[in-house]
Amino acid sequence: MTKQYHDRALDADTLDQLFNEARSYNGWLDKPVNDEQLHAIWDLMKMAPTSANMQPARVVWVKSDEAKQQLAGLVSEGNKAKVVAAPVTAIIGYDIDFHEELPWLFPHTDAKSWFEGNEKLRQEGAFRNSSLQGAYLMLAARALGLDCGPMSGFDNAAVDKAFFADEPRHRSNFICSIGYGDPASIFDRSPRPDFDTFNRIA
């Protein structure tokens, strides 16, 4: 029997850690992130839902100085210093042929056949669901006491060539630095829209 948590709202401090006080960082404290922490992020994010459990995300965790320099050369000017300074930057990519894995990821039906011969449908599913997984990555990192700095300003094709050279099915979606954020590196909060601005109850 699965555990349920009906009407158990998390306490204010936890909601602050995950949402209300968490910020996107542009600079990082000189404190490393170890491989066990990266495994722990994955072990949480993989539990969250994707369509037909497709799990299209393919992640390269850029951690060595050499890989950071390589990635920094492929991001926009304003992101270079961030990538070099961050303990780790995750390249969140996706497998355009994720359906090849569905026989073991979604074993109870022939979900692979839904996607065969339809790259447009696979592209849409892979992009949507790897984006979901990128969000799960960020919230998992925060849940473990780490900070994030997501970025989409980079040359996707060049990053694919540099980091997915052995995996021509893989394509980058966005990147996200992970570490212990430097509080001096954040800007004022941008405004947040009220419910009525962007929501409607029908």
Taking the C-alpha atoms of residue 91 and residue 75, their distance in angstroms, rounded to an integer, is: 12
Closer residue to a second copy (CB): 9 or 77: 9
Interaction between residue 45 and a second copy (CB under 8 A):
yes
Query: Shortest Cβ distance from residue 81 to a second copy (Å)?
Result: 18
DSSP state of 46: T
**Partners of 84 in the β-ladder:** none
Query: Shortest Cβ distance from residue 30 to a second copy (Å)?
Result: 13
Helix (H) or strand (E) holding 93: strand 88-95
- Residues 152 to 191 in contact with a second copy, rule: CB under 8 A: 152, 163, 173-174, 180-181, 183, 186-187, 190-191
The answer to whether the Cα torsion of 69, 70, 75, 76 is positive or negative is positive
* The two three-digit tokens of residue 186, written as one number: 């954040």
Query: Shortest Cβ distance from residue 118 to a second copy (Å)?
Result: 14
- Residues 96 to 155 in contact with a second copy, rule: CB under 8 A: 104-108, 125, 127-129, 131-136, 138-140, 142-148, 150, 152
Closer residue to a second copy (CB): 76 or 81: 76
Q: Which of 43, 100, 110, 116 binds a second copy (CB under 8 A)?
A: 43
Interaction between residue 192 and a second copy (CB under 8 A):
yes
Q: Site for a second copy (CB under 8 A): how many residues?
A: 90
- Residues 60 to 99 in contact with a second copy, rule: CB under 8 A: 60-64, 67
Q: Tell me which residue has tokens 């094709």.
A: 157
* The two three-digit tokens of residue 110, written as one number: 């022939």
With beta carbons less than 8 A apart as the criterion, state whether 62 and 89 touch: yes
Taking the C-alpha atoms of residue 159 and residue 119, their distance in angstroms, rounded to an integer, is: 21
